[in-house]
Amino acid sequence: MGKNIAFAADLTLPAIGQGTWYMGEKAELRQQEIAALQAGLECGLTVIDTAEMYADGGAEQVVGEALQGRRDRAWLVSKFYPWNAGVDDAREACERSLKRLKTDYLDLYLLHWRGNIPLEETIRAMEKLQQQGKIRRWGVSNFDYEDMQSLWQEPGGSACAANQVLYHLASRGIEFDLLPACGERQLPIMAYCPLAQAGRLRHGLMTSPELNEMADRLGISVAQLLLAWVIRHPNVMAIPKASSISHVQENAAALSVTLNETHVKQIDLLFPPPQSKQPLDVV
């Protein structure tokens, strides 16, 4: 199958999952999106990541349709807005997501980014949802090093199961402090936009002559090279968008690509690792 990561003591997941950002926005693409997610499951990409924010719940509805009769084969992740991070609002947001997803539980529920509601209250909200069986685990997204330190200091904060952040070859800031800190605690990082899908950087990566030459030598695509690079860390999972069946199959094949030390050093020369603290990239 290819590379897995230990997500918890008793849980191993494939190091590449399926993202759903921008899904559910165009009715004419709905069947294609559903087919892509289902093809991903067939390829072993069992982690499906979505959020109440994506298409204002529309992406969750697409996922819900894709998982009809297949829910037990998927490891389902959704995210909630920071203003829904209080006990009552979190319960209501979770119930709305579950309804759209046509399921009665989430495998992982993430705070989409840090807001004004105290972390202590959010932790209580997540514990309550766990007790009610609505979520199996909880985590955070877009939390920088200092945010994680604050979270870990709260009672129950160490139960955080993942941190989902932007990470790709042209955005390596987390390697300076956040990635090592999470690594020490064996906390998985879920890398969104691992192909620099959003923002101005995709063009530079996909058209880089050096990356194209390296990919050609390895007999893979540049996208597969970029995914293999992201998941070279033992605790990092990549969640590229699952936009078509062919893309999903290409992504799944990247699980079997291994970059050696020479490849990694060559890439470091092209896109150097950070030498100082960088602000967390967020899209």
* DSSP assignment of the chain: ---EEEEETTEEEESB-EE-TTTTS-GGGHHHHHHHHHHHHHTT--EEE--SSGGGGHHHHHHHHHTTTTGGG-EEEEEE-GGG-SHHHHHHHHHHHHHHHT-S-EEEEEE-S--SS-HHHHHHHHHHHHHTTSEEEEEEES--HHHHHHHHHSTTGGG---EEEE-BTTB-GGGTTHHHHHHHTT--EEEESTT--SSS-HHHHHT-HHHHHHHHHHTS-HHHHHHHHHTTSTTEEEE-B--SHHHHHHHHHGGG----HHHHHHHHHHSPPPSS--PPP--
Give the predicted TM-score (pTM) of the model. 0.96
Kindly state the percentage of the chain with pLDDT values over 90. Answer: 91
Q: What is the mean pLDDT of the chain?
A: 95
Band the pLDDT of 2: cuts 50, 70, 90: confident
244-265 pLDDT, tens digit each = 999 999 999 999 999 999 999 9
**Average pLDDT score over residue span 150-161:** 98
The average pLDDT across 49-78 equals 96
Rounded to an integer, the average pLDDT of 8-12 is 88
Predicted confidence band at 201 (pLDDT cuts at 50, 70, 90)?
low
What pLDDT, on the 0 to 100 scale, is given for residue 9? 82
CA distance 232 to 226: 10
